Amino acid sequence: MSSVLYDTPGPRAKRRNVVYTIGFLAVLGLAAWWMLSAMADKNQLAVEKWSPFVTDSRVWTTYLLPGLTETLKAAVLSILIALPLGALLGIGRLSDHRWVRVPVGTVVEFFRAIPVLLLMMFASGIYREYTTISSDFRPLYAVVTGLVLYNASVIAEVVRAGVLSLPRGQGDAAEALGMRKGQTMMYVLLPQAVTVMLPALVSQLVVIVKDTALGGAMLGFTELLSQNRQITANYGANTIATFTVIALIFIVINALLTHLAGRLERRLRQGKKSAAVNIPAQPGATEVKSDAISGA
């Protein structure tokens, strides 16, 4: 344990740290105890509210797993459509032609400025009024549309930053070889930028998985979070238990994704000279680069 922020603790500092630790743990413990006892008072810790998740496998097979499938389906579809679209938009924004650069830039900024929930509600309204998409798929379509529009513009920025982060010499060298602009982008710049962008893209996946829950709360998309209605209707309004379990599932999936992003980044940093770009396009995309000073 060493950090540039504080001296290596001596005997007195060590004693003080022990006191702080005990005090801090006591405060945490008190808060936890107060919460649990209040919940127990209100009968929220009763065994029958929590036991279905352990003893009754049907909770999982009938509600949670199908919901999780929908969540992942929406997330995977969104990223797969948003990736090429975002790449196109990002390249468009780097174009030498003003008439390409400006409109593409406007589109990207527009969709980045609007809450993804509003995009989903708008898409849902459009599909309901102007198409005959069956109600089984409409919420999925609306959610995916909203997520694609938003995330494509975020990815566009990631791509742009990735390409701009490459050494100028790469583009110049390609030009010197006589490659056309399109070739330079396809064969020289993008392949290198993709590896640099990968961690930011995986982090964006976490954002997408989390945002699918919006469709469940507001649009009747039958994803993981929305399953709480049916579970609580069957097991005696055990809302707290249900929400806890659902939150844990989300946390596990996203923690895995975040972990993957971290590993990718470390691997890339070892393999390449250029570090991964850090594009804080939105909370979730920020990954800390080095532990130079925080030390922990």
Partner 1 sequence: MKLRRTPAAAAAAVVLALTATACGGGSDSGSNGDKINVGIKFDQPGLGLKTPDGKYAGFDVDVARYVAKELGYAEDKINFKQAPSAERENLIKNGDVKFVVASYSINDKRKKEVDFAGPYFLAHQDLLVRADDSSITKVEDLNSKKLCSVTGSTSAQNVKDKLAPKADLQQLGGYSECLTGLENKAVDALTTDDSILAGYASQKEHAGKFKLAGLRMSDEKYGIGVKKGDDDLRGKINKALEKMVSDGTWEKLVKQHFGPSGYKYEPAPKVEN
Partner 2 sequence: MFDFLDSGQYDLLGAFWVTAKLALYSAIGSLIWGTALVGMRVSPVPAMRAFGTAYVNLVRNTPLTVVLVACSFGLNQTLGITLGGGSFEDIGFRLAVLGLSAYTGTFVCEALRSGINTVPPGQAEAARALGLNFTQVLTLVVFPQAFRAVVTPLANVLIALTKNTTVASAISAAEAAVLMKEMVENEADALFAVFAVFAFGFILLTLPTGLLLGWAAKRLAVKR
Contact residues for partner 1 (CB under 8 A)?
Answer: 42-44, 48, 56, 58-59, 61-63, 77, 80-81, 83-84, 128, 132-137, 186-187, 191, 217, 220, 222, 228-230, 232-237, 239-240
CA distances from 99 to 104, 113, 164, 240 (A): 9, 22, 20, 54
3-state class (DSSP) for residue 74: helix
Q: What is the dihedral of CA 119, 121, 122, 125, to 10 degrees?
A: 160
Q: Which of 15, 30, 32, 38 binds partner 2 (CB under 8 A)?
A: 38
3-class secondary structure, 3: strand
What part of residues 97-136 is at the interface with partner 2 (CB under 8 A)? 110, 113-118, 121-122, 124-126, 128-129
Our CB check for partner 1 shows the closer of 71 and 222 to be: 222
Contact residue for partner 2 among 30, 80, 186, 255 (CB under 8 A): 255
Looking at the Cβ atoms of 173 and 251, the one nearer to partner 1 is 173
Q: How far is 46 from 66, CA to CA, in rounded Å?
A: 27
Contact assessment for residue 123 and residue 142, using Cβ atoms and an 8 Å cutoff: yes
Residue 125 binds which entry of partner 2, partner 1, none, CB below 5-8 Å type-dependent: partner 2
- Cβ atoms of residues 231 and 44 within 8 Å: no
Q: Which is nearer to partner 2, 198 or 253 (CB)?
A: 253
Contact between 7 and partner 2 per CB under 8 A: yes
238 near 52, Cβ under 8 Å? yes
Which of residues 190 and 224 has its CB atom nearest to partner 2 in the complex? 224
Site for partner 2 in 175-234 (CB under 8 A): 206, 209-214, 216-218, 225
Q: Among candidates 114, 107, 102, which has minimal Cα distance to 86?
A: 107
